[in-house]
Structure 1
Amino acid sequence: MDFDLPAEHAMIRDTVREFCEEEIEPIAQEIEDEHRFPEEVFAELGDLDMMGVPVSEAYGGLGGDQLMYALVTEELGRVSGGIGLSYAAHVSLGSKPIELFGTDEQKEEWLRPLAEGEGMGAWALTEPGSGSDASDMDTMAVKDGDEYVLNGTKQFITNASVANSVLVKAVTDPEAGYDGISTFIVDPEDDGFEITTVWDKMGLNSSPTCEIQLDDVRIPEDRLLGEEGEGWEQTMKTLDGGRVSIAALSVGLAQGAYEAAKDYAGEREQFGQPIAKFDAIRDKVVDMHRKTERARLLTHKAATEYDKGESVTRESALAKLDASEAAREVAEDAVQVLGGYGYTEDFSPQRFYRDAKLMEIGEGTSEIQHVVLGQQLGL
């Protein structure tokens, strides 16, 4: 069992870390305050060949694996949860399904620009009334000649307002249950596609979260991803990889919060010595480190198993559950270590704290991860 990163993976991690510290960290609070999606950052990530890390080189990607992708996502989350979230949604949800389930023509037309950094991807599953039961879907796709006509509303869709393509889940056979759901590649320029809301959120406001209205959106039949009725199976496979990326993003948030608290505790003096010398603070920082390392190990294990081609439903759910809760706990402790300063926007822990909460909600709540893990354990 080798816990050392391969040399290429370490090089990519270090390259992205340097970029994050030089280009993202100085503007992380600014873009959050302005609720601004930083197009320039993603353009630079494209120049670094990071926008398609786990996508085949044949379609413009870097040709890396899930572990490499997790490392990049972690480094982004370490300085900006919003940028990390948009990146993860672009890769895991907006791009990877096209590679996994698309035709060669679809990959060339829709995947290549995403992998090469010429556009952003999005994935539209959730609806206003669906919540944790994502299969409870009202969006319909009706075949009309050589076209499909889509109608419905999608909710809480990351990147939708900045996307060049959106993978939309819709019902093609209302009588077939899970087997009646299909996936379509929708261009936001298609007539009838409208962004009706960009939500103001508790955190992660540099990453747009949108409501989409589909009103008689007509798309050619060659925009069906895979076959009719394969949409739910595609969703389950997509979420296995997506949960690894959310776990990695959570590890990054935890790492950033831990580092902020550790640095502050070593510099801030009370009663004539650094507060890190007091048991209460030292023990808190040690626990933050422990939780972050544990989450990282689970995340790297899930990514490594994914790269072996194994089923990782259990591993990805476990990593996502642990890392997301660790991110929130570590960020909360970071605020506490900094005291009053931790509650101000002059310091990063408050931002990590707000950003971390979504990790326990998106791509399956912590409660849903318990359900998944219970099923995997035969309970």
Structure 2
Amino acid sequence: MSSRRPPALLLDLVLVVAALLDVWANVDSEDRLPRVCGLVAALALLLRRHRPLLTFAFTLPTALTGDAVFATMAALYTLSSLSRRRGLLAVCALTFAVSDFMPWPWTSLEVDELGETYTLVDITFTLATAAAPVFLGQLVQARRELSLRLAQISEAREQEQLLTAQAVLAKERAQLAREMHDVVSHQVSLIAVQAGALQVGSPDAEARAAAATIRRLSVQTLEELRHMVGVLRASGSRPTELTPQPSLTDLRRLIDASGIETVLETDLPDGLPPALQRAVYRTVQEALTNVRKHAPGATATVRIRHRGDTLRATVTNTAATRPALRLPGAHHGLVGLRQRAALLGGTVTSGPTPDGGHTLCLTLPADARTDPDRAEHAG
């Protein structure tokens, strides 16, 4: 875990204080010009991020007139960390070295045999002092650019992984679409054809009515399958809307098509959020499906009530009057209902009744607006 960097203004103020201390320690109080140059150089450091070259120019006189060179070195470091002009940096470093080496006021250098050695040492030290901020600034600039490149590479790699995952998902969705079209749609089409033949040829009125219901449901299922095949083949390449979602106005048609003798009691007001209407519809749909599968011959009662800030939908069925047939099922219906209710801040409960029947109850807050259908589609 990387440590947090101090604020830029605080760091600039620290550098200004350090430059002032350098002037106080290395410039004689009687030397007025070096002190003024040192003060100007220290204050100029506040401009170093926005005007690095101008800052260096303001700090150069303090290196020329005295021994306080901290401000000049800080300005040269900042210029080196922000500029890519190697020639300019070399000129600035050489100018700093000359200004720091030359005495003030300018006089001729007197070098004797013993002093020549110390002069060479002084020149070497001055050049090193001028080169160090440049090298350090260039190193910081290279590190900053390397970090940026690494971040860009990481982002590109994540994007590549996302595209790969999307390509795999598109392939799987296309394969699933082919299976649905070639197998499921074909089977449902045969069911619709056979039901139509039974509807026309059966002498029994009840059998014809049941065949008509089967044929109507098969046709409706085929339409939904075709739409879902289109959704799968789109593979995320363009926005694809789900089939128009049901509302409470579709409840009566759902009950009539269920083939179960059902009483509907509701007092819901108009204008309920679509998410609530869909949750109630799906709950009633699942409950009637379970009655048809597990309680043949039973009757059902659907009660939907709105009291205060709570909406409650209850589906109760009587005991079965004939044996139930074994039908395939994934046993995910109630799990899906509970997940849908949880998205809306509600609950789903179910259990047997004293007379051998079963009840399913959905409780929701009346102001719920989260849309589980769209959440599932987006996921």
Per the TM superposition, whether the score is higher than 0.5 is: no
Task: Report 1 or 2 for greater relative contact order, CA contacts < 8 Å, sequence distance ≥ 6.
Answer: 1
Greater radius of gyration (CA):
2
Query: Which of the five TM-score ranges fits, normalised by the shorter chain?
Result: under 0.3
TM-score, normalisation: structure 1: 0.28
TM-score, normalisation: structure 2: 0.28
Higher strand share goes to which structure?
1
